[in-house]
């Protein structure tokens, strides 16, 4: 009887425990999308240049800024310093026009106050689940979709 109760509880709890990977992927994709939107808008309103560096191997994003677009310094605001992806979430690849698909190493995206921004498609994954983030430089919108698109 005790084993049956334990098995029943385990059957209810285990699927939710395994779902943390999906939750981390969804929240990390949302965090990246929010950061990209903010940098796109902030480059225009604050008249600053931003460099967003995706390190696909170390699963991190770092932000640097510049007044002239030549000398970049690390972003001093703690909330904008960057993002480290959480347990099991990784960058699958990033596609940038003029560069193509990159699966390892570092890729930098630049945001300019003159409205010059680079389009990109970022694929993030955890296990078999994948999210696609698409940045439209003309509208400043970031679309997050399920699957590899």
Q: What is the pLDDT of residue 23?
A: 85
Average pLDDT over residues 34-43: 92
Radius of gyration from C-alpha coordinates of the chain:
18
Q: Is the pLDDT of residue 3 over 70?
A: no
Q: How many CB atoms lie within 10 A of CB 96?
A: 18
Q: What is the pLDDT of residue 56?
A: 96
Q: What is the pLDDT of residue 82?
A: 86
How confident is the prediction for the chain on average, in pLDDT? 88
* pLDDT tens digits, one per residue of 10-20: 566 555 555 66
Residue located via tokens 């999308």: 33
Q: What is the pLDDT of residue 81?
A: 81
Please give the C-alpha separations between residue 143 and each of 4, 27, 37, 134, in angstroms, as whole numbers.
Answer: 45, 14, 10, 5
Q: What is the pLDDT of residue 17?
A: 52
Q: Is the pLDDT of residue 138 over 60?
A: yes
Q: Is the dihedral of CA 39, 132, 119, 106 positive or negative?
A: positive
Q: Is the pLDDT of residue 9 over 70?
A: no
Q: Pull the structure tokens for residue 8.
A: 């029943």
* 49 touches 65 (CB < 8 A): yes
* pLDDT tens digits, one per residue of 66-122: 999 899 999 888 878 889 999 889 999 999 999 999 999 999 999 999 877 889 999
Q: What is the pLDDT of residue 6?
A: 63
Quote the CA–CA distance of 64 and 44 in Å, as a whole number: 15
Q: What is the pLDDT of residue 94?
A: 97
């Amino acid at each position: 009887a005790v084993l049956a109760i334990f098995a029943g509880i385990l059957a209810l709890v285990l699927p939710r425990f395994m779902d943390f990977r999906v939750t981390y992927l969804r929240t990390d994709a949302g965090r990246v999308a929010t950061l990209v939107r903010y940098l796109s808008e902030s480059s225009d309103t604050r008249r600053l240049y931003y460099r967003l560096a995706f390190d696909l191997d170390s699963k991190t994003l770092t932000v640097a800024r510049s007044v002239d677009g030549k000398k970049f310094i690390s972003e001093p605001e703690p909330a904008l310093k960057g993002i480290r992806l959480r347990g099991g979430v990784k960058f699958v690849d990033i596609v940038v026009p003029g560069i193509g698909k990159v699966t390892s190493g570092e890729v930098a995206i630049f945001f300019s106050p003159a409205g010059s921004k680079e389009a990109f498609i970022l694929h993030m994954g955890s296990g078999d689940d994948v999210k696609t983030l698409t940045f439209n430089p003309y509208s400043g919108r970031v679309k997050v979709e399920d699957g590899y698109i």
